[in-house]
Structure 1
């Protein structure tokens, strides 16, 4: 069992905690492959209806462990790091048709920041900062940062943050649309639990299809997106959760969604 990823499943919510606090949860090969494995397990586990990615200790994730890439005995090379570590993580986060929440508990830098913003919902507390740290060491942004950040905050703002490597507070990140919500430090854990429990009790199948629609909207024409919306709406209308949702509305009661 991996020591670098801690998994806890409770009430339909799987919490995946990056667990290398001594290096601010920076990624080495073992942690990257373990996170992929745990994401795959969550994708196929019917009892998991929402996923949280967070960090242990003071950081969410400081990106790549530079000790790994500067040690000749350990360095897997950037081609392997990107093609076998980060790219698959981002692809899995977007492909899993369940809501994935980034609970950003501390600094999110480099690949750590971009993994966070690839999630469906990002919640951070007021002491958190986000940093596109790549330019500080002569690298370019990876982990789909150049794909998601311009779409979240606009081309010009993303360009400046990536080139200058500015530190962005969680409060400013929320204002510019980079993240969904910032909380006080005291309210952070309660907000995460409330949000994830809400998602875990919602119609999982419909949420998954919504995620698919959002993914496809990145490249579709209007006509293609309308056609996909129609196809998936027809499929959603045949689900047990839709029948339950309508029945609950008519009967003026809280729906009991099963995720089917």
Structure 2
């Protein structure tokens, strides 16, 4: 059997590909555990400076593997997978210090959409669509969608998308901010995501990590909290070789060469 998750490392970019194309990359236990473990590994990998998250075949990820879930419904706690798999997987993805680019080719539904929403950038094409499928199967949202979606589209629109569970096609997704970039051709989605990730991998990694931290913690804190986080972030970034190099490059009117430290 093929591995449920593929990881390719090239020039500081780790391309993480969900590899269950026959099931549209639906999330079974093996794939959820592989994603969790890979995100945890990449978080401490000094050679990884940007991450691309993609799906093999014609879909990004359609969420929970419902065939597997149907079997779980015969047990006493069929939703234990939320605490055992989804929450750890999502927490690990959200905590990645590297910039994350989602190559959202085709459908991203349920928890699959949740994975895309946690990325820092989302690249899509004509076939890209989102579906908040949870209510269609009588479930509430998980995979941090209740946290990410209102921050991306606002409370009212998030309520509409979650309760009505209607597809969001590519153009509307771009208009709503669920896609950072919308390309003309599906075949360009993964190369464009990798190109953006390569650009980020060549940048000031410590500063990027601190900016992500500022945005994450500032989303729920007070002004005083934000100022405290900014002080700590600037102190960390300001002590890097990259900051000194970029400052010198500006004065010397040349392009800086970032080393990620």
TM-score w.r.t. the length of structure 1 is 0.95
Structure 2: give runs of 5+ residues left out of the alignment: none
Quote the offset at 1:230 in angstroms.
Answer: 1.7
Provide, for residues 90-147 of structure 1, a one-character-per-residue CA deviation record: whole Å limited to 9, x for no partner.
Answer: 1111111111111111100010011110111111112110000111111111111111
Distance 1:3 1:74, change over 3 A: farther
Structure 1: give runs of 5+ residues left out of the alignment: none
Alignment partner of 2:63: what SS?
Answer: coil
Aligned to 2:8: 8
Alignment partner of 1:212: what SS?
Answer: helix
Provide, for residues 195-232 of structure 1, a one-character-per-residue CA deviation record: whole Å limited to 9, x for no partner.
Answer: 11110000011100111111101221011101211221
Give the whole-Å Cα distance in 2 for the aligned partners of 1:89 and 1:119: 13
The two structures, once aligned, show a CA RMSD in angstroms of: 1.8
Aligned to 1:43: 43
Report matched runs for 1:162-181 at 5 Å.
162-181=162-181
Is contact 1:111–1:143 with CA below 8 Å preserved after alignment?
yes
Aligned to 1:192: 193
Give the whole-Å Cα distance in 2 for the aligned partners of 1:190 and 1:253: 28
Is contact 2:8–2:14 with CA below 8 Å preserved after alignment?
yes
Alignment partner of 1:126: what SS?
Answer: coil
Number of aligned residue pairs: 260
Aligned to 2:226: 225
Give the whole-Å Cα distance in 1 for the aligned partners of 2:36 and 2:9: 17
Quote the offset at 1:171 in angstroms.
Answer: 1.5
Question: Which stretch of the first structure deviates more once superposed, 220-229 or 11-20?
Answer: 220-229
Alignment partner of 1:61: what SS?
Answer: coil
Aligned to 1:210: 211
Give the whole-Å Cα distance in 1 for the aligned partners of 2:210 and 2:75: 39
Question: Which stretch of the first structure deviates more once superposed, 154-163 or 223-232?
Answer: 223-232
Alignment partner of 1:71: what SS?
Answer: helix
TM-score w.r.t. the length of structure 2 is 0.95
Is contact 1:21–1:59 with CA below 8 Å preserved after alignment?
yes
